[in-house]
Structure 1
């Protein structure tokens, strides 16, 4: 059963992502359209609700439009969601927007603020823009775009927008490839997840930290960033200059590694931050870099709790050591080129 399922996933579903365009539903897909006809759905949430609650592999195809809703994917079998696009490799060509407005002030937890909440293993997103449009608040401003709890998850040429807590990479092995992630405060964060980020544009919108690793024990989990670009968002607030950091430690054993990163965003010269001045939380953290370049790090004066890796040390951090030696069986490698 496992072999036949894998053959179906990678032999029938993933090749659709290899084409230059995806403007028609893959065979067997559940279809979402703002002009839904018989057998189609007008919302993603209704399409997800229509899926059988079993271990079958399911695909959903969404036609262009902005869908204002909150969606939970929580079923036994894998789900792949495709957005209509004329260029599967370029997030700038995305035409499908999933938008919601919620914050911790009106929700029971960070997770429940999420516009899209994934709690299913082996899920994949292609060419979707996911937004939490809550905005900025002095307190309880946590507003998640994607809340991700599934293992062997992949996001490909997607865009994620919020201000605080944009991407909750909280549980399971996951990859984010050739996507766009925007926020200001702790906007890539989580407790127990391990995630590999490659070829992404990471955009800072205001003062704050890109990452907030909540790792609470000396386990194998980490966030590895390889060959990404860190920029200022096109509409960034003026307070971004000198007040942005690659990360701060939410958990006692926070672990984040950046390799071969081009940084044009005007970071603070320390590059890495304590959790709070009265609670540094840095005794057991591992914040590391290799080959960071660009004007954003030209005047870097890193603190003692930050580590600069040499080439042999950096070589130990790979997609395989991050998300598992079986990564090639579930990651769409097209997006690693």
Structure 2
């Protein structure tokens, strides 16, 4: 039950990694000369499995079988790891899946194309990290997740966030605070779309480049069931931040969402929350 630390030496590791359910907390630390910046990371875990590579006979947990780094444990802190799924534009291909509560990711770099980051259980924190992709590349169904000061990079046409909150009692919500959004093309990316009918996502205090389409948000493959969707923006800036042409099922907040709504009132004293990154 004692804390364990796994230190990873520099290199490119071509493999899939699963962290099983552990009895105690775990720190995953990648080698770096600057713990505060993903730009100095010297450890990369990479592979290229996608849904198309999983045998049709396998019905359950297909996403897990494509994942580069799968965390099944609670109370995990991850520092200075680059995690990639290089399958490209071929369908669902996950780089990271956070399937435990109280997971914190710090100065990490997650790269992929579709479904890069699967933030499935929470609460979780992603801070001063880099996340790239094109289609639904930050998604998940049950997690309360706070994204603090992250660089979000769109590499193709599609939506960034696909929150899968499926009922009024599901606690899931994604909040992007002080994000920096860039990408290829003009108006080719959207802030999000509703994977499920009660989807919740908020972008606030963020710099949105012109990669963000003026409409801001999309429906799920033409599904008009958006009555219970909660898509909000607050105090954003940049060429993609204007809200005058946003879709009718989105809105603006008068005040930003407080971090306590996502991480809890006592987040500053929680082991998995590194306040040096907030």
- 2: distance between equivalents of 1:160 and 1:185? 14
1:286-301 to 2 correspondences below 5 Å: 286-298=230-242, 300-301=244-245
The aligned counterpart of 2:191 is: 246
1:128 equivalent in structure 2: 81
Post-superposition offset of 1:265: 4.1
Tell me which protein shows more strand as a share of its residues: 2
SS at match of 1:297: coil
327-336 or 113-122: bigger deviation: 327-336
Equivalent residues of 2:158, 2:190 under 8 A apart: yes
Which residue of structure 2 aligns with residue 334 of structure 1?
A: 276
Is the aligned partner of 1:118 residue 2:47?
no
**Maintained 8 Å contact 1:116/1:147:** yes
Tell me the residue number matched to 2:202.
257
Taking the aligned partners of 2:252 and 2:198, their CA distance within structure 1 comes to: 18
| Aligned-pair Cα RMSD in Å | 1.3
Distance 1:307 1:187 in 2: 22
Counterpart contact for 1:209–1:246, Cα < 8 Å: yes
Q: Is the 8 A contact 2:187 2:210 kept in 1?
A: no
Matches of 1:297 and 1:215, distance apart in 2: 25
The structure with more radius of gyration:
1
Assess if the C-alpha contact under 8 Å between 1:186 and 1:208 holds in 2: yes
Superposed, which structure 2 residues align to 1:52-67 within 5 Å?
A: 55-67=1-13
Q: TM-score, normalised by structure 2?
A: 0.93
Offset at residue 292 of structure 1 (A):
1.5
TM-score normalised by L of structure 1: 0.77
Q: In the TM superposition, what are the counterparts of 1:17-56 in structure 2 within 5 Å? A: 55-56=1-2
Aligned counterpart, 2:17: 71
Match of 2:246 in 1: 302
Aligned residue-pair number? 268
1:295 alignment partner, SS class: coil
Shift of 1:197: 0.4
Tell me if the contact between 2:207 and 2:241 (Cα under 8 Å) persists in the aligned partners: no
Unaligned runs of 5+ in 1: 1-54
Matches within 5 A, 1:89-104: 89-104=36-51
Question: 1:148 corresponds to which residue?
Answer: 98
Asked if 1:83 is matched to 2:30, the reply is yes
Could you list the structure 1 runs, at least 4 aligned residues long, displaced by more than 6 angstroms after superposition: none
Please state whether the residue corresponding to 1:110 is helix, strand or coil: helix
Gaps of 5+ in 2: none
Give the distance between the partners of 1:66 and 1:282, measured in 2 at CA: 43
Partner of 2:261: 321
> What corresponds to 2:177 in structure 1?
226
Matched position secondary structure for 2:276:
helix
SS state of the match for residue 12, structure 2?
strand
Q: Which is helix-richer, 1 or 2? A: 1
1: CA distance, partners of 2:53 / 2:99: 21
Instruction: Kindly indicate whether the alpha-carbon contact (under 8 Å) linking 1:271 and 1:300 is maintained by their aligned counterparts in 2.
Output: no
Report if aligned partners of 1:249, 1:281 keep a CA contact under 8 Å in 2.
Answer: no
Tell me the alpha carbon deviations over residues 216-253 of structure 1, each in whole angstroms, 9 at most, x when there is no partner.
01133211111111111xxx4xxx43231000000110
Measured in 2, the distance between the counterparts of 1:225 and 1:179 equals: 12
